[in-house]
Amino acid sequence: MQVADEKSAAKKLSPEQSREAFATLGKQLLAGGKELNEIIGLAALHNKWFTEVNIRTALNAIAENFLDEMLLKKWILAYRIEPSRHPEFIEGGRKLTTPFDSAPDDSPKKIALIMAGNVPLAGFHDLLCVLLTGNHALIKMSSKDKHLLPYLLNQLCIIEPAFHKSYEFVEMLKDFDAVIATGSNNSSRYFEYYFGKYPHIIRKNRNSVAVLTGNETDEQLQRLGKDVFLYFGLGCRNVSKLYVPRGYDFPQLFRALEPFHSIIHHHGYKSNFDYNLTLLIMNGTPYHASDFLMLTENKSLASPLASLHFEYYDTLDDAKAFIQASKDEIQCVVAECEIENSISFGKSQQPQFADYADGIDTVRFLLS
Which pLDDT belongs to residue 368?
A: 82
* Res. 186 pLDDT band, cuts 50 70 90: confident
Q: pLDDT tens-digit profile of 300-313?
A: 999 999 999 999 99
Which pLDDT belongs to residue 293?
A: 98
Which pLDDT belongs to residue 236?
A: 95
Which pLDDT belongs to residue 76?
A: 77
124 and 26 Cβ atoms separated by less than 8 Å: no
Q: pLDDT tens-digit profile of 2-29?
A: 444 544 444 567 878 899 999 999 999 9
Which pLDDT belongs to residue 103?
A: 37
- Which percentage of the chain shows pLDDT scores above 70? 89
Q: pLDDT tens-digit profile of 145-180?
A: 999 999 999 999 999 999 999 999 999 999 999 999
Which pLDDT belongs to residue 74?
A: 86
Stretch among 27-41, 174-188, 276-290 having the lowest mean pLDDT: 174-188
pTM score of the predicted model = 0.88
Q: pLDDT tens-digit profile of 76-98?
A: 777 765 544 434 433 444 444 43
Q: pLDDT tens-digit profile of 258-282?
A: 999 999 999 999 999 999 999 999 9
Average of per-residue pLDDT across 327-331: 95
Average of per-residue pLDDT across 39-55: 97
- CA 357, CA 182: separation in Å to the nearest integer? 10
The beta strand positions in the chain, using DSSP E, are 79-80, 88-91, 94-97, 110-114, 136-140, 167-169, 178-182, 200-203, 207-211, 239-245, 288-289, 294-297, 307-313, 330-335
